[in-house]
A and B are shown apart, each in its own frame.
Chain A
């Protein structure tokens, strides 16, 4: 198939606006009658609220209103587990929770009033370790867990701190271990970390009376915000309008509903005014969501020939004070920790546990980095034990045509080719002999494999609207959020290809607005190019059909006998008999004004067919739906003096089905790898014993800077077309981050002879291991 616009690099739709400072983000917006909210955070990470006295604060200069949770005893959920209030009601469960909000004429006045609010607390014991919290029945973070409303895919254990328990029971684990001749096991720990998108979270909210509200928010999920806020107040969903401008990065941290319910409650006390709340950087880290946070034990059994027979794991997630955003991650990590391998017998228990930290939410990879960390470390250990090459051992067990994954889904060739990905990594990694240890450095190489499937609501869809203008150019509207990934540009290229128009004749959406944009479940799970792209293709076909029907009336032929080339609709047996698209866009108008036919506008949507929640008893079923497979490898050196790791080369190969834009896809991979390096070697949210985050600043929370990046990154794509992807394209965005940690840790073993199981691995950990 010859493509005109697919597989080529164009200047991004949002490029000019972003290099000139014209691109608008939520904090750039000013509305008339705008007031400012600041939030009081608690002194304790776990405490009962005895009283709140706002009288002094109310008298403070410029203060319009003080709002507390007493006004709003509401439980909300965006994913399906109703365990959270917009503001703390009678208890605080983590150190970043909103206790009271001040609305004032300026930010400064609001800040001045905050310390004048007097709160009396009764401190409660703090739980930070998920394994201990899961066993502790004396200290309950949610005493009323059993009463919370939830979807049937959540399995809470009332009377404990376990809000969700996912069980995977595939085959017969005892038989699997009996069949095994060699075993490896490990205890794994993944720290909590902060997404740290450059743009802080923010929302502006304005009520028209009590029945209609507009919200401008930095969210990846405007339709989820719409539904959540509407349900909180019992409003028709249609009366909540959510606008999203550009997002300054998301990485999942803006996909969960976090600050918006609070801002909606606060603004409701001053109808007619716009209330603006932008998180400080500290509040992004203490009061939105964090990512990961896992302690796990896992065991893999294999026959002597390397065939994996049994996999068993217990995973405990430190999910913080609320479970709504985390429960699905617990499930996904549970069925993905088996890795991209066919293992006959699997037995996994994955627990989402309440702790006194900020809640955990989606973070680039959504359970897959946690799971992949386990499987890929165990596979390398197994290879050593069997004296096999870690690459060959992977090949022996890889998912491929006809084999079944942990969910029992059968993998087909069109799902992607792990062998080619690994071969690409192997070729690149072993082009030269590994340097031998010298005075200063130890050298190591490692590889890891990965898979990722989306996890979403079974009805998750993307929808598209196409409108032809009277000059034949088109509007293409979708509800996918542009957060840097290139959502708009990908849609423009796909639309241009489908409509056979040059990209500069295709105007794609900029802002998203629940009133005007087609429905999009959420811009998450790396799904937008795949699902949004399919929606564009289906819609383009419908819109072209309208043009053909219009032309058929004019030319007095059958629509089926007509063709379309972007400029004209013409008879396929006689291309000279044609009508220009611009004459057909709003119906066809004869010279006397008589107009026939329909307006060339169309809408259509796409979802993964047959997608279901895992079976409650066995945890299996069609809950993957579509996969992207890949392999990564790296060569690194360890500085013996200070324990620093220098990555000389990092290689990624993913089977992406079809490259839509070479520049944008490389940007995703290279950026994701560096984010993964941060997660592996630097980033960790640290808590005091009292549950306070002690490094909630970008001075103390260290992220990769330009001198931390690999000296060289190789990115190689395999393009096995996906059967139902747009032009064969598959999901890719989170993927480059999934296997980075085990890739590096496997290389660290190669360099140091030491197995690391705890992320991040800091220079001090390496020095300790070397001694």
Chain B
């Protein structure tokens, strides 16, 4: 009774089984082995499973079923660095600012920021804070993540200029 859906993940079209119930995080982790997307709570409170769906940040544990998943375009943390493994400016900013400790919330924060800065390169501090308040981190006290976000905005600005 299994049905199939097709979705584009990190630029590659994938066809996977999906009945009514599977969530996007299950498809990413269990079907596609993209375990960079993390599950902290399973009900959208922590944001660890944030990925980019059709250009918007989405908590992958909250999106379920064929209707919502068929045909979508997904970007996960595995798709952010270039094919040679060179890091995206947001990833670089996280390392430089010391925003990574245990690393479990890191992919979610990075994808949250990616969606924000892609859509709003000039996002204000208020808008950045608002976006980051969707995600929980238990290690850093947010200071370094905040600095990484501001640095990422600068680095991205520099890439656009050059």
By a beta-carbon cutoff of 8 Å, the part of chain A in contact with chain B is 9, 11-12, 14-25, 27-28, 30, 196-200, 246-251, 280-281, 483-486, 663-664, 666-667, 670-675, 697-699, 703-707, 709, 713
Contacts and interface: CB of A to CB of B under 8 A. Distances in A.
B46 interface: yes
A483 B142 CA distance: 17
A644 to B, nearest CB: 16
Interface in B61-106: 76-78, 80-81, 85, 87, 91, 94-96, 98, 100-106
A11 B35 contact: no
A18 B43 contact: no
B119 interface: no
A674 B102 contact: no
B32 interface: no
Interface string B19-50: 00000000001000111111111110110100
A25 B104 contact: yes
A699 B101 contact: no
B36 A21 contact: yes
A675 B138 contact: yes
Q: Is the interface of A mostly helix, strand, loop or mixed?
A: loop
Contacts of B94: 15, 19
B141 A673 contact: yes
Interface stretch (B1-9, B128-136, B154-162): B128-136
Contact of B101 (A486, A704, A705, A706): A486
A27 B45 contact: no
A197 B101 contact: no
A666 B41 CA distance: 28
A21 B104 contact: no
A560 to B, nearest CB: 43
A199 B138 CA distance: 10
A19 B136 contact: no
B143 interface: yes
A198 B141 contact: no
Contacts of B38: 25, 198-199, 248
A246 B103 contact: yes
B151 to A, nearest CB: 13
Given A24-B35, A27-B39, A28-B35, A19 B100 contact: yes
The 7 closest A-B pairs by CB, nearest first: A21-B36, A484-B102, A248-B104, A18-B103, A674-B141, A484-B101, A28-B35
20 contacts: A9-B98, A14-B103, A16-B95, A19-B107, A20-B78, A20-B81, A28-B35, A196-B138, A197-B102, A198-B138, A200-B40, A247-B102, A248-B104, A484-B139, A666-B98, A667-B98, A667-B139, A667-B140, A672-B141, A705-B133
Interface of B: 29, 33-43, 45-46, 48, 76-78, 80-81, 85, 87, 91, 94-96, 98, 100-107, 110, 129, 132-133, 136-146
A520 B126 CA distance: 45
Given A248-B104, A703-B136, A20 B129 contact: no
Contacts of A196: 138
Contacts of A705: 133, 136, 142
A744 to B, nearest CB: 15
Contacts of B138: 196-198, 249, 251, 671, 675, 703
A337 to B, nearest CB: 26
Nearest to A667: B98
A666 to B, nearest CB: 7
A666 B98 CA distance: 9
Contact of B102 (A22, A200, A246): A246
A703 B110 CA distance: 20
B43 A670 contact: no
Given A25-B38, A671-B138, A705-B142, 16 more contacts: A19-B103, A20-B78, A21-B77, A25-B104, A198-B38, A198-B136, A247-B102, A280-B42, A281-B40, A485-B101, A670-B143, A697-B43, A705-B136, A706-B129, A706-B142, A709-B141
A21 B9 CA distance: 15
A24 B145 CA distance: 21
B48 A12 contact: no
A39 to B, nearest CB: 16
Contacts of B96: 11
Contacts of B146: 706
Contact of B142 (A198, A485, A709): A709
B42 A21 contact: no
Given A196-B138, A673-B141, A697 B41 contact: yes
Contacts of A249: 101-102, 104, 138-139
Contacts of A664: 98
Nearest to B21: A108
A20 B77 contact: yes
A311 B20 CA distance: 64
A310 B124 CA distance: 56
Contacts of B107: 19, 21
A705 B130 CA distance: 10
A19 B143 contact: no
Given A19-B95, A198-B46, A673-B141, A281 B104 contact: no
Nearest to A199: B104
Contact of B45 (A663, A698, A704): A698
B132 A706 contact: yes
A675 B136 CA distance: 12
Contacts of B48: 198
A334 to B, nearest CB: 28
A342 B131 CA distance: 49
Contacts of A707: 129, 133
Contacts of A250: 102
Contacts of B77: 19-21
B102 A706 contact: no
Contact of A670 (B45, B85, B105, B141): B141
Contacts of B139: 198, 249, 484, 667, 671
Given A21-B35, A21-B77, A667-B144, A12 B104 contact: no
Contacts of B129: 706-707
Nearest to B111: A21
Contacts of A197: 102, 104, 138
A486 B94 CA distance: 15
Contacts of B95: 11-12, 15-16, 19
B91 to A, nearest CB: 4
B105 A198 contact: yes
A351 B34 CA distance: 48
Most buried by A among B80, B106, B132: B106
B133 A12 contact: no
